[in-house]
Amino acid sequence: MTTVEERRAADEAVEERLAPAWEESGGIRGWFTTVDHKKIGRRYMVTAAFFFVAAGLEAMVMRTQLAGARLDVVSPELYNQLFTLHGTTMIFFFSTPMLFGFGNYLMPLMIGARDMAFPRLNAFGYWVFAAAGLLMTGSLLFGAAPNGGWFAYVPLNEEQYLPGVGMDVYCLGLLLLGISTTGGAINFIVTALTMRAPGMSLNRVPLFVWAVVVQSFMIVFALPPLNVANLFLFLDRRYGFHFFDPSEGGDPILWQHLFWLFGHPDVYIIVLPALGIVSAIVPTFSRRPLAAYPLVVLATVTTGVISFGVWVHHMFATGLPQLSLSFFSAASLIVTVPSGIQVFSWLITIMLGRLVVRTPMLWVLGFLVVFVAGGVTGVMFAVVPFDQQTTDSYFVVAHFHYVLFGGAVFPIIAGIYYWFGKFTGRMLSERLGRWSFWVVFAGFNVTFFPMHVLGLLGMPRRVYTYEPELGWAGWNLVETIGAYVLLVGLSLILYDIVRALRRGPAAPDNPWGGETLEWATTSPPKEYNFPVVPTVHSLHPMWDEKSLASMARDRDDDERTLTDGKQALRTSDLDGVPEHPVALPRESVLPLVVALGLAAPTFALVLGAPLVAAVSALLLPAGLFVWHWPRAARQEAEAARSRDAAPAGADA
């Protein structure tokens, strides 16, 4: 047995040599210059949580307004801004960035790497995301928030029907965010492809990493249509182009195609990594490896591919040809198969294992119930006549909250409870965790289940109020009460986090006995994550003696400790054979500067100052120039010169 003490001793032996190369500035300066994937990952999570709170409070105002018939809490104009901003924020600025935060923090740890492949791109992505979110959420304070619904249908969202800057904020904010998301996705793929620990062939890659990689590939293909759509809409609105204007040869349906070509895959862009979190948690608390790992990998990949062929199910009511409706209806029904495979894999793992229900697992069980319920109503929509009856009603609102709240928020909270010790070095409270779970679970269902009923009774979505004669007030009141219960449950979690950060018990390295490599690091991990790069011998390195032993044994092996500067190990793409060390960049303000070169022009364009935009955009080429200026040849020459100056043989 390799004891923890042995590994600790091995770690300490190399830490002194690693620390100087990996240290970053602290304080304010470090705040602007860090390129450490863990700090960036944490930032992503905290910022996304902030947007969740903002969008959640917007929802509370909506629910308050809808508590009874003909209430007058907010004006119709403000209500439009509230639901648009709530939807846009939850989809774009909470779900994906939150899961990017998990991915950023965990992917390098899970694959035994020391950082991402492009640490500066990573920092850049965070700044751009933060700027875009600030623009979007900040606009509400000026009463200038987007107000045409989160999918911004034309012609409603053309300038002549929705004047004002609200929808310009939407187009430009999403374009800005798109750059950040695309950069992040590329970074994930390249990291997973080139930086895995020796021995981690593709069939030993943890499922969470697979999920993030598939998510990233989907982003690479799905974001371009969205960006093109937003560019078109912006040009239409601001510069009098006619892409979507039927009177000048344009076509409103084009917007719908472009948007949903992105929009449906986006559901899986959000949900897949969340399912990856579930696949990470279930084996730990079932005390056995996940059943049918290869099938789950295949299902993940298949989901990603098929979801590009079903976008028209969002357009069943637009009068498309019958044949295309049938095709997309069938395709939509087929997507349920790979999702089903994943669900059965978790269930079988739980059945065959020895279930231990701790808080993270409790949230996963809650997820299973809610997500399956959302899936069932999803199948109903794939059937064209049903969809045509219920589209744009509260039934739809109920459905996508079961899918998105159930499929993303439950796993995210499970993930927070599971990895909080790793992220912060402190443990959350088991007791508060259980309380908050039951309150949230109850609140969630009381809020959203009645929406199915109201939808079938005919209540349309996106209405700021309704007439008393319609008889909808009772159910609406129940929903609003549920929303407040939900708020209490979520606040309990926030309280638990604040409490734990201040005086929670210290977290052990591997509090739950997990199987993947992040648990081999200290809690929280050192800057370089792994003093000795592990060699992986199975899918469950922490449950397998040989992999564990490698981290103590290789402490004297320079090719595994890489103490010659800030270095990571490049391994081969498919089977993880070590190739050569790669140098990683040190901390830098460049990412922030280049991000400003994008964000400043965007803000200027929103405010209608194209000249300021053009001038501030010059930061972009300037920053990129410094960023890419080739330095390696010069550095190598200098290193060689100082070697020659040193006594012969000292450093061969």
Partner 1 sequence: MTALPAAATDPAAAAREVPAGRRPGWWGMVLALVTDVAAFAALLAAYFYIRFVTAGDNWPPGDIAEPKLLKAWIMTALLLASSAPLVFADHGIKNGRRGRMLAGVGVTVLLGVAFLVVQGLEYREKLTVEFTPQTNAYGSLFFAITGFHGLHVIVGVLALLVILVAGLAGRITHRHHAIVRITGLYWHTVGAVWVFIFGSLYLAAQL
Residues that bind ligand HEM (CB under 6 A): 56, 59, 62-63, 83-84, 86-87, 90-91, 95, 149-150, 397, 401, 404-405, 408-409, 447, 461-462, 483, 486
Backbone angles phi, psi at 570, to 5 degrees: -85, 120
By beta-carbon proximity to Cu ion, the closer residue of 264 and 401 is 264
- Nearest distance, CB of residue 364 and Cu ion, angstroms: 24
Counting every residue written for the chain, the total comes to 652
- Nearest distance, CB of residue 633 and partner 1, angstroms: 4
Q: Which range touches partner 1 (CB under 8 A), out of 123-131, 253-261, 492-500, 643-651? A: 253-261
Asked whether position 238 contacts partner 1 by CB under 8 A, the answer is no
* Residue 447 interacts with, from partner 1, Cu ion, ligand HEM, none (CB under 5-8 Å by kind): ligand HEM
By beta-carbon proximity to partner 1, the closer residue of 14 and 568 is 568
For the record, the structure tokens of 587 come out as 């901390």
For the record, the structure tokens of 633 come out as 């040849």
- Nearest distance, CB of residue 406 and partner 1, angstroms: 30
By beta-carbon proximity to ligand HEM, the closer residue of 316 and 394 is 394
d(CA 33, CA 50): 22
SS3 content of the chain, % helix, strand, coil (to 5): 70, 0, 25
CA-based nearest residue to 55, from 124, 123, 146: 146
- Nearest distance, CB of residue 567 and partner 1, angstroms: 13
- Nearest distance, CB of residue 315 and ligand HEM, angstroms: 16
Determine which residue in the list 240, 458, 505, 608 makes contact with partner 1, applying CB under 8 A: 240
By beta-carbon proximity to partner 1, the closer residue of 540 and 566 is 566
Asked whether position 70 contacts partner 1 by CB under 8 A, the answer is no
By beta-carbon proximity to partner 1, the closer residue of 319 and 647 is 319
d(CA 504, CA 499): 7
Pick left, alpha or beta for residue 96 (phi over 0 → left; psi -120 to 50 → alpha; otherwise beta): alpha
- Nearest distance, CB of residue 248 and partner 1, angstroms: 4
Instruction: Assess contact for 478 and 450: CB atoms under 8 A.
Output: yes
Asked whether position 261 contacts partner 1 by CB under 8 A, the answer is yes
d(CA 269, CA 626): 33
**In Å, how far are 26, 45, 108, 134, 390 from 36, measured between CA atoms?**
12, 14, 11, 23, 48
By beta-carbon proximity to Cu ion, the closer residue of 260 and 603 is 260
Determine which residue in the list 163, 505, 508, 621 makes contact with partner 1, applying CB under 8 A: 621
Asked whether position 423 contacts partner 1 by CB under 8 A, the answer is no
By beta-carbon proximity to partner 1, the closer residue of 352 and 574 is 574
* Residue 54 interacts with, from ligand HEM, Cu ion, partner 1, none (CB under 5-8 Å by kind): none
- Nearest distance, CB of residue 94 and ligand HEM, angstroms: 6
d(CA 594, CA 623): 5
Instruction: Assess contact for 371 and 446: CB atoms under 8 A.
Output: no
Taking CB under 8 A as the criterion, which residues in 557-586 touch partner 1?
Answer: 570-574, 579, 582
**In Å, how far are 3, 140, 278, 289, 365 from 230, measured between CA atoms?**
56, 20, 33, 44, 38
Taking CB under 8 A as the criterion, which residues in 121-150 touch partner 1?
Answer: 121
Show the CA angle centred on residue 406, arms to residues 401 and 407, nearest 5°: 105
Asked whether position 492 contacts partner 1 by CB under 8 A, the answer is no
Determine which residue in the list 430, 558, 564, 636 makes contact with partner 1, applying CB under 8 A: 636
* Residue 634 interacts with, from ligand HEM, partner 1, Cu ion, none (CB under 5-8 Å by kind): partner 1
Helices in 307-393 by DSSP H: which ranges?
322-334, 336-352, 359-382, 384-390
**In Å, how far are 129, 167, 582, 616 from 604, measured between CA atoms?**
17, 15, 39, 9
d(CA 638, CA 619): 30
- Nearest distance, CB of residue 57 and partner 1, angstroms: 34
- Nearest distance, CB of residue 324 and partner 1, angstroms: 12
- Nearest distance, CB of residue 200 and partner 1, angstroms: 14
Asked whether position 159 contacts partner 1 by CB under 8 A, the answer is no
d(CA 109, CA 226): 32
Determine which residue in the list 35, 167, 177, 189 makes contact with partner 1, applying CB under 8 A: 189
For the record, the structure tokens of 307 come out as 């979801």
Asked whether position 556 contacts partner 1 by CB under 8 A, the answer is no
* Residue 83 interacts with, from partner 1, Cu ion, ligand HEM, none (CB under 5-8 Å by kind): ligand HEM
Asked whether position 243 contacts partner 1 by CB under 8 A, the answer is yes
- Nearest distance, CB of residue 107 and partner 1, angstroms: 14
The total of other beta-carbon atoms located within 10 Å of residue 597's CB is 18
- Nearest distance, CB of residue 266 and Cu ion, angstroms: 9
Binding residues for Cu ion, rule: CB under 5 A, are: 264
| b/e sequence 274-308, b meaning 16+ C-beta within 10 Å | bbbbbbbbbbbbbebbbbbbeebbebbbbbbebbb
CA-based nearest residue to 46, from 116, 97, 86, 103: 97
Asked whether position 15 contacts partner 1 by CB under 8 A, the answer is no
Asked whether position 257 contacts partner 1 by CB under 8 A, the answer is yes
d(CA 292, CA 166): 48
Q: What one-character-per-residue DSSP string does 465-479 give?
A: ---GGGS-HHHHHHH
By beta-carbon proximity to Cu ion, the closer residue of 211 and 315 is 315
d(CA 483, CA 247): 44
CA-based nearest residue to 367, from 417, 432, 414, 433: 414
Instruction: Assess contact for 104 and 508: CB atoms under 8 A.
Output: no
* Residue 264 interacts with, from Cu ion, ligand HEM, partner 1, none (CB under 5-8 Å by kind): Cu ion
By beta-carbon proximity to ligand HEM, the closer residue of 67 and 382 is 67
Using a CB cutoff of 8 Å and minimum separation of 24, what contacts does 16-21 make?
A: 17/561, 17/563, 18/526, 18/528, 18/531, 18/561, 18/563, 19/527, 21/563, 21/565, 21/566, 21/567
Taking CB under 8 A as the criterion, which residues in 195-234 touch partner 1?
Answer: 195, 220-221, 223-225, 227-228, 231-232
- Nearest distance, CB of residue 356 and ligand HEM, angstroms: 28
Q: Which range touches partner 1 (CB under 8 A), out of 241-249, 325-333, 418-426, 479-487? A: 241-249
- Nearest distance, CB of residue 580 and partner 1, angstroms: 8
* Residue 331 interacts with, from partner 1, ligand HEM, Cu ion, none (CB under 5-8 Å by kind): none
Instruction: Assess contact for 597 and 619: CB atoms under 8 A.
Output: yes
- Nearest distance, CB of residue 98 and partner 1, angstroms: 22
Which residues in this chain contact partner 1 in the complex, by CB under 8 A?
Answer: 117-118, 121, 182, 185-187, 189-190, 193-195, 220-221, 223-225, 227-228, 231-232, 235-236, 239-243, 245-246, 248-251, 253-254, 257-258, 261, 570-574, 579, 582, 621, 625, 628-634, 636
